Amino acid sequence: MEVMEVEDRDFLQKRAEQEEQIGFIRKVLGIVAVQMALTFAMSATASAFTSVGTFVMNPFVQFLCLFVLIISLCVLVCSEKTRRTVPGNYLWLFALTLAEATSIASMAAELEIFSVLTAIMATCLVTACLFFAALYTSTSVNIGRLVRNMVIGVVAACLLNIALLLWMLVTWNFRDSNLVIVSSMLSVVIVGFYIMMVLLMIILPGAMDKDDYILAALRLYLELVRLFFYLLVILGKKK
């Protein structure tokens, strides 16, 4: 009888942990979905309407966005209390999202609306594929191995980024569109790896503190924005 009670208690505890993990995943993905929707909407609007595009491309607006982005990022990353306190954490995250979305929109303002919409669709498709891949991988990966592989992968990706940067500095030609596209495609691969790792950290139980949903959303959003940026470079067509 006592054994059955212990088993029932363990089952209920495990089920509660699973529900808590699912709630954490839904919260993070919900926040990121809103962030990306705002980014996509601002980019499409800046491309479609000249007045909006002119506004977001204003040097003062860009400087202000950079300032807000740096301050918000430092506060959210460095202050655990701030990013766990509602509603202040959402306000800081909204400020960061608005600044980043405005910066991306300034680039989209110079592109045709069809190419911007194509980049948006491509970003959504790639993200969905990476999410399902991470969901499938999470069933056969333990946290210790994930962390070890993530450290190795991040180091390798950083070295690849450095090599790519040096190559671009040595061979860069602004009129060579093929060079731009190739470098952007390599960057998409690197960013895709980062997104995969962040998704795994979010999906796997115990990999992240569930009270740090803002930090998890911030990490995923920044990587998705980088992916969108590089896809705009590849698919974007100037007006």
Q: Are 108 and 41 in contact (CB under 8 A)?
A: no
pLDDT the model gives residue 174: 47
Cα(195)–Cα(215) distance, rounded to whole angstroms? 14
Q: Are 236 and 116 in contact (CB under 8 A)?
A: yes
Q: Per mean pLDDT, which range of 52-56, 105-109, 148-152 is the poorest?
A: 148-152
Structure tokens at 64: 């202000």
Plot region of 175 (φ>0 → left; ψ -120 to 50 → alpha; else → beta): alpha
Cα(46)–Cα(143) distance, rounded to whole angstroms? 42
Q: Looking at the whole model, is its pTM more than 0.85?
A: no
Burial status of residue 27 (CB atoms within 10 A of its CB: 0-12, 13-18, 19 or more): middle
How many Cα atoms sit within 13 Å of 145 on the Cβ side? 6
Q: Which residue has the higher pLDDT, 205 or 106?
A: 106
Q: Which residue has the higher pLDDT, 3 or 67?
A: 67
Work out the average pLDDT over 190-203.
83
pLDDT the model gives residue 39: 97
Which residues are paired to 238 by β-bridges?
111
Model confidence pLDDT, tens digit, residues 58-113 = 999 999 999 999 999 999 999 999 999 999 999 999 999 999 999 999 999 999 99
